Amino acid sequence: MDARFKSRDIERRSLDVDGLKRSFLEWLVYSVGKDARAATRRDWFHTVALAVRDRVVDRWMDTTRSYYHEDAKRVYYLSLEFLIGRLLTNSLSNLGIVDECRQALDRLGLSMEDVVDAEPDAALGNGGLGRLAACFLDSMASQGLPGYGYGIRYEFGLFEQRFENGWQVEYPEQWLQFGNPWEFARPEVLYPVQFYGRVEEFRDSVGERAYRWVDADRVLAMAYDTPVVGFGGETINTLRLWSARATRDFNFGHFNDGAYMKAVEQKILSENLSRVLYPNDATETGKELRLKQEYFFTSASLQDILRRYLQHHTTFENLPNKAAIQLNDTHPAIGIAELMRLLVDQHALRWDDAWEITRATFAYTNHTLLPEALEAWPVRMIERVLPRHMQIIYEINAKFLNRTKAKAAGDNARLSRLSLIDERGERRVRMGNLAFLGSHKVNGVSALHTDLMKQTVFADFHEEFPDRINNKTNGITPRRWLKQANPALSELITTRIGEGWISDLSQIAALREKADDVVFREEFRRAKRKNKKRLAAYIARQTGEEVLVDSIFDVQVKRMHEYKRQLLNVLHTIALYNEMRDNPTVSWVPVTKVFAGKAAPSYHMAKLIIKLINDVAKVVNHDPSVHDNLKVVLLPNYNVTAAEIIIPAADLSEQISTAGMEASGTGNMKLALNGALTIGTLDGANVEIREHVGADNIFIFGMTADEVNDLRASGGFNPREVIASNPSLKRALDMISTGAFSPDDRNRYHPIVQALTDGGDHFLVTADFADYCRAQDAAMQLYRDPEEWTRKAILNTANMGWFSSDRTVNEYAGEIWDVHPVKPSHDGEGFR
Ligand code: GPW
């Protein structure tokens, strides 16, 4: 390339209506290959996305070039999940050209909504953990932080959920079927990743013992880049996702039929690595392919990070000053052993230097205390799949335990708890311990969760390293979750306080004084009503059910999990149904119970709860004796796109997990920001939400985490006694167990009834039932007073500013990463 070429020589794409319209027609014809008469909605979506992507590219290159020329410290967010959802509205909105695009489409006789709806939802994640990663990407780009996301480009994202006969059935999610207009394939960015084989010991040039990993299978990781548009379009960061490719030399050597077929088979097998997202949320399944996925993307990302670092450096001691690597849970924790391998085996660093660099570079976020979610890979599996890493893990462990032994002689129980190897039963590597030891900072995701980390899973490590654990309460991006998802409310807010809140959500506090303004309250209600109408139409389309817009929209949307206690909500629903039937003359506040969420395909109890909700809905919704005062809907295929319709329409937000079990929650934040009142336990971030919105503006019920802990420590309780003393609970459970909702199979719900009774009710559903009903009654009473309800709803919105992921990311940047904003130069000059 001619060195005199400057990027200003390119004619930059125009952002006005005419320019957009011209661009659309050009893309439609010359890239999509259709004329306007033959184009489908999907063709138009691809056209518009490509034209919008065009408008991102120069700024993207400017951003990347600025980071490079300043040799800025970058943060690398390693995550097996990025639940980014649709990108068209997001890109337009962050570029500030939503209206221009709408008008350009209008001139072509097209509706923006139709075009937007043709985009598939990128579901490269299960739930909260993956969506948090997506919110962080938005916040990093919006604040000019040099942040990269690294993950896997799954060919199949999270399964599509349908209900057949009320049961969940999973279908493959083929989001890439028609191509992905946002991504850039980078066939030249390719790294080898090895598996299996064995380790050979040898003497290096100075006679030191050294190791090499030989006879291994090889797969290639190929990069796909998606631009991440920050608010205002100043900074465009990169999400780099890896796709598995077979190596060219993979058994293609032999020229006969058998070897050829075998080679193709090998190719398919190795490319299975990036085929599908594991659909388990907060549960660990211990499958070899999953371990290989974790290593595959981690290794490729680290190789890429080192390559970038070596563009400016020849030695590694500055790595921690130029790269911060954040582990999103333990899924990429094998990266600690991998960086050690790269530094020691490939770059010949001394062990102690490599360890110091590794620890100073990595930080680890823990997202759960649930034992069934803590990764622990069998030693035998790691030995086979990653033999050199197993040696490195043993070495890390030996050095650590030796040092600890010297200090605390004799306490073997403690040493075995601190060990990276769990020796009880089949020997396993505790990935949480590895992540803790290999990081300079370890954080929880809410104040309560961080405290519990110190008291439970990491109590011994906390004693050993008292400065390592810190809290970073989660947040959500106000761009997607208020500005884009709720145009009615966000326009109202902007007319009153300006648009500063979009990039500085703390400014939304200026709405507090509007809570007492009757005119504002009326407009706030009008916005909510508009969103409720939109949701009612969506419910009708998806389920055929008609719901009352003036009923309380009581919403529980999240993965199906026993600890999240959808069952508690169902029991209340049945109790309310019974009360309404018993008292038909009372003027009831109409209630619409809205549920949505997927169950892991192998989680039988969660799938049975789905069937129960659908069965209850069938009975309740068709019983004329409740006069439409109660409706139950379970929306299929909950994903980011559905959330954007449901959340702005909610009146009541169900956050009812057993205290101590939900690490943070983030749906709780989205709902409160959109003016829903929370009914919840003192769990996860609910505790902090109460502090911010005020105890008068939230419905708290149930046992606290301490009470739960004490109850369990004292041997639990007898749910039979609780049930016997609560007639409405007893009646609801009896109906479930005698088949009132399953006349076709009266024993269907035996496992549920069993779990809540003789099973000991591990999640304390029955224990919290009475207080939950009290809180529900309080909510229903308040709803009778629209002025009071609206006042509290406004105070929720106004007091949620602190829960912006901008605040969260800034805390990470300042206290963990030490990264700073970089202002990209957009003068087209590049750098000299
Ligand atoms: F088990 N979370 C999640 F900790 O969505 F890994 N998936 C997961 O696999 C895990 C956690 C894991 C969630 C937490 O359940 C939720 O409380 C939290 O708000 C969210 O991660 C983000 O921190």
Q: Is 666 tagged catalytic?
A: yes
Distance CA 640, CA 169 (A): 19
Residues having CB closer than 6 A to ligand 1 are 126-129, 132, 281-282, 329, 367-368, 373, 445, 474, 662-666, 684
Whether 111 and 186 share a structural domain: no
Rounded (10°) CA dihedral 782, 786, 792, 793: 120
Whether 128 and 192 share a structural domain: yes
Taking CA atoms only, the protein residue closest to ligand 1 atom 6 is: 282
Q: Is the dihedral of CA 553, 558, 559, 560 positive or negative?
A: negative
**Which residues neighbour 310 within 8 Å (Cβ) at sequence distance 6 or greater?**
none
- Among candidate residues 245, 308, 521, 558, the one labeled active-site is 558
How much is the mean pLDDT over the chain?
96
Which pair of structure tokens corresponds to residue 670?
Answer: 């989205």
Asked if residue 252 has pLDDT above 70, the reply is no
Taking CA atoms only, the protein residue closest to ligand 1 atom 10 is: 282
Q: Which of 473, 491, 518 is the last residue of a domain?
A: 473
Residues in the chain: 832
**Which residues neighbour 269 within 8 Å (Cβ) at sequence distance 6 or greater?**
none
Which residue type occupies 755?
A: A
Whether 337 and 414 share a structural domain: yes
Whether 91 and 149 share a structural domain: no
- Classified as helix, coil or strand, 619 is helix
- Among candidate residues 592, 666, 678, 790, the one labeled active-site is 666
Confirm whether 292 is domain-assigned: yes
- Is the separation of the CB atoms in 297 and 224 below 8 Å? no
Q: Nearest CA to 157 among 141, 139, 177, 143?
A: 177
Cα 129 to averaged position of ligand 1 atoms, centre (Å): 5
Pairing of strands 198-203, 209-214: antiparallel
Per-residue model confidence (pLDDT) at position 287: 96
- Classified as helix, coil or strand, 280 is coil
- Is the separation of the CB atoms in 580 and 630 below 8 Å? yes
Asked if residue 253 has pLDDT above 80, the reply is no
**Which atom number of ligand 1 is nearest to the Cα of residue 127?**
5
**Apex 306 CA angle, 295 and 382, nearest 5:** 20
**Which atom number of ligand 1 is nearest to the Cα of residue 128?**
5
Q: Which of 473, 507, 525 is the last residue of a domain?
A: 473
Task: Name which of 513-522, 686-695, 822-831 the model is least confident about.
Answer: 822-831
Confirm whether 486 is domain-assigned: no
Q: Is 731 tagged catalytic?
A: no
ipTM above 0.90, yes or no: yes
Confirm whether 804 is domain-assigned: no
- Classified as helix, coil or strand, 523 is helix
What is the three-state SS of 436-482? HHCCCEEEECCHHHHHHHHHCCCHHHHHHCCCCEEECCCCECHHHHH
Q: Which domain holds residue 581?
A: 551-797
Which residue type occupies 370?
A: L
How confident is the model over 775-792, as pLDDT tens digits? 999 999 999 999 999 999
Cα 367 to averaged position of ligand 1 atoms, centre (Å): 5
Distance CA 505, CA 234 (A): 19
Confirm whether 732 is domain-assigned: yes
Asked if residue 259 has pLDDT above 80, the reply is no
Pairing of strands 236-246, 217-229: antiparallel
CB atoms within 10 A of CB 198: 12
- Among candidate residues 559, 598, 611, 792, the one labeled active-site is 559
Q: How far is CA 511 from CA 514, 516, 646, in A?
A: 5, 10, 23
Q: Is 823 tagged catalytic?
A: no
Whether 354 and 243 share a structural domain: yes
Q: Element (H or E) spanning 613, and its range?
A: helix 604-621
Which pair of structure tokens corresponds to residue 250?
Answer: 């993979």
Whether 58 and 126 share a structural domain: no
Which pair of structure tokens corresponds to residue 492?
Answer: 């109202």
Asked if residue 703 has pLDDT above 60, the reply is yes
Confirm whether 814 is domain-assigned: no
Per-residue model confidence (pLDDT) at position 788: 98
Q: Is 22 tagged catalytic?
A: no
Distance CA 680, CA 677 (A): 10
Per-residue model confidence (pLDDT) at position 832: 35
Distance CA 781, CA 6 (A): 67
Q: Nearest CA to 245 among 175, 307, 155, 176?
A: 155
Q: Is 558 tagged catalytic?
A: yes
**Apex 333 CA angle, 328 and 335, nearest 5:** 115
Q: Residue 720 region, left (φ>0) first, then alpha (ψ -120 to 50), else beta?
A: alpha
- Is the separation of the CB atoms in 333 and 435 below 8 Å? yes
Per-residue model confidence (pLDDT) at position 591: 98
Q: Nearest CA to 560 among 598, 601, 616, 594?
A: 598
Which pair of structure tokens corresponds to residue 340?
Answer: 């050690």
How confident is the model over 51-61, as pLDDT tens digits? 999 999 999 99
Which residue type occupies 298?
A: T
Whether 712 and 733 share a structural domain: yes
Whether 787 and 738 share a structural domain: yes
Whether 600 and 613 share a structural domain: yes
363: β partners: 326, 441
Distance CA 245, CA 274 (A): 9
Which of 367, 668, 686 has most ligand 1 atoms within 8 Å of its beta carbon, as the pocket-test mutant?
367
Asked if residue 718 has pLDDT above 90, the reply is yes
Cα 664 to averaged position of ligand 1 atoms, centre (Å): 8
From the number of C-beta atoms within 10 Å of its C-beta (0-12, 13-18, 19+), residue 670 rates as buried
Whether 203 and 343 share a structural domain: yes
Helix, strand, coil percentages, rounded to 5, for the chain: 50, 15, 35
pLDDT band at 1 (very low <50, low <70, confident <90, very high): very low
How confident is the model over 159-168, as pLDDT tens digits? 999 999 999 9
Cα 282 to averaged position of ligand 1 atoms, centre (Å): 6
Q: Is 59 tagged catalytic?
A: no
Confirm whether 57 is domain-assigned: yes
Asked if residue 831 has pLDDT above 80, the reply is no
Asked if residue 2 has pLDDT above 80, the reply is no
- Among candidate residues 240, 564, 598, 748, the one labeled active-site is 564
Per-residue model confidence (pLDDT) at position 826: 84
- Classified as helix, coil or strand, 157 is coil
Q: Which of 417, 451, 473 is the last residue of a domain?
A: 473
For 186, half-sphere exposure in the C-beta direction (CA atoms, 13 angstrom radius) is 19
219: β partners: 193, 246
Cα 316 to averaged position of ligand 1 atoms, centre (Å): 33
- Classified as helix, coil or strand, 397 is helix
Per-residue model confidence (pLDDT) at position 10: 63
**Which atom number of ligand 1 is nearest to the Cα of residue 331?**
6
Asked if residue 4 has pLDDT above 70, the reply is no
How confident is the model over 535-580, as pLDDT tens digits? 999 999 999 999 999 999 999 999 999 999 999 999 999 999 999 9
Confirm whether 493 is domain-assigned: no
Q: Nearest CA to 433 among 355, 333, 340?
A: 333
Whether 104 and 216 share a structural domain: no
How confident is the model over 630-678, as pLDDT tens digits? 999 999 999 999 999 999 999 999 999 999 999 999 999 999 999 999 9
**Which residues neighbour 340 within 8 Å (Cβ) at sequence distance 6 or greater?**
351, 354, 355, 358, 392, 396
Whether 758 and 639 share a structural domain: yes
Distance CA 479, CA 741 (A): 42
Taking CA atoms only, the protein residue closest to ligand 1 atom 12 is: 282
pLDDT band at 187 (very low <50, low <70, confident <90, very high): very high
Distance CA 168, CA 160 (A): 10
How confident is the model over 20-58, as pLDDT tens digits? 999 999 999 999 999 999 999 999 999 999 999 999 999
Query: Which CATH number covers residue 219?
Result: 3.40.50.2000
Q: How far is CA 427 from CA 345, 387, 397, 423, 741, in A?
A: 26, 15, 14, 5, 46
Q: Element (H or E) spanning 200, and its range?
A: strand 198-203
Asked if residue 69 has pLDDT above 80, the reply is yes
Q: How far is CA 441 from CA 140, 281, 333, 360, in A?
A: 19, 24, 13, 9
Confirm whether 510 is domain-assigned: no
Mean pLDDT, residues 99-113 taken together: 98
Our count of domains for the chain comes to 3
Gyration radius from the chain CA atoms: 28
- Classified as helix, coil or strand, 322 is helix
634: β partners: 595
Pairing of strands 167-171, 209-214: unpaired
Q: How far is CA 233 from CA 7, 30, 93, 141, 476, in A?
A: 18, 27, 9, 9, 19
Burial 169-192 (b: 16+ CB within 10 A, else e): ebeebebeeeebbbbeeeeebebe
Mean pLDDT, residues 115-132 taken together: 98
Residue ranges of the alpha helices (H) in 7-157? 17-27, 41-70, 88-95, 98-107, 112-117, 128-142
